[in-house]
Amino acid sequence: MSSNRKVAIIDYGIGNLYSVKKACEYVGLDSIITSNKIDILNCGAMILPGVGAFGNAMNNIQEKDLIESIQQFAKSGRYIMGVCLGMQLLMEYSEEFGKQNGLSLIKGGCKKFNFNENVKVPQINWNKIYSPNQYEIFSEESPLSKISQGTYMYFVHSFYVEPLEKNNILSITSYDNFEYCSSICKDNIFGFQFHPEKSGKNGLVLYDNFKNLIKK
């Protein structure tokens, strides 16, 4: 048995896993890049990274036979953090190329930004995150603890998450005056649309918070 404080970074063939691993190392979080079921289930927490297309990612996860393992992991109460596409995969579906099924850990889906042609999609941008309830700070029980309102994080995406239940929204962000959910949480499951491992020192605070949650 490996240490239950180790975090499994799920490798399903896409994404910049190196930076996620280096961010974990930076904050002193022991991690392993893996697609092996037994390794994953032996870990105390999970990071689900990802860039690219939703359908490709789900196909790869299915090919590696990991869907049930991830769902089982979530039910066990251990912490899961989805990053960028990894956040979108937590949902029930995405409207990317028709309708594709996700991991269904949180109710709701992913929709494409719908702007006029003057607004560039994907959003490739440093953008601000806020608590959905104005004047409130981010919960101390979340990885956003100690992060100020209006902090810039680095975003690259064309689709956004729309949770069915509003109380799953952990942060909101506005792109061309359109407000959407940029962080999500449900019990032990967190998702971030931005890349905390690419968002400078504030992004590393998030990794450090995640480490502290696991150690509690």
Partner 1 sequence: MSLRIIPRIDIKGPNVVKGINLEGLRVLGKPSDFAKYYYENGADELLYMDVVASLYERNSLQNIIEETASDVFIPITVGGGIRNLNDINTVLRSGADKVLINTAAIKNPEFIREAANNFGSSTIVISIEVIKQQNNNYLCFTDNGREFTGINAIDWVQKIQDLGAGEIVLTSVDREGTGNGFDDELIKSICAKLSIPLIIHGGAGSSEHVLNTAKEFPQIDGFGIASMFHYHFLKEYDIINKNFDEGNIDFIKKGLHPKGISPTHINSLKSYLYNNKIDVRLF
End-to-end CA distance of the chain: 20
Which residues lie closer than 8 Å to 123 by C-beta, 6 or more apart?
A: 113, 155, 156, 157, 158, 175
Q: Which positions lie near partner 1, rule CB under 8 A?
A: 14, 16-19, 22-23, 25-26, 51-53, 117, 120, 122, 124-127, 152, 154, 156-158, 176, 195, 197-201, 203-204
Closer to partner 1 by Cβ: residue 13 or 132: 13
Phi, psi of 75 (to 5 degrees): -65, -30
Angle at 103 between CA 98 and CA 104, to 5 degrees: 90
Closer to partner 1 by Cβ: residue 74 or 87: 87
Q: Write down the least CB distance from residue 22 to partner 1, Å.
A: 5
- Among all chains, which residue has been given the structure tokens 């502290």? 212
Q: Write down the least CB distance from residue 44 to partner 1, Å.
A: 23
Q: Write down the least CB distance from residue 9 to partner 1, Å.
A: 13
Closer to partner 1 by Cβ: residue 25 or 68: 25
Q: Which residues are catalytic?
A: 84, 195, 197
Query: Is 168 in contact with 184 (CB distance < 8 Å)?
Result: yes
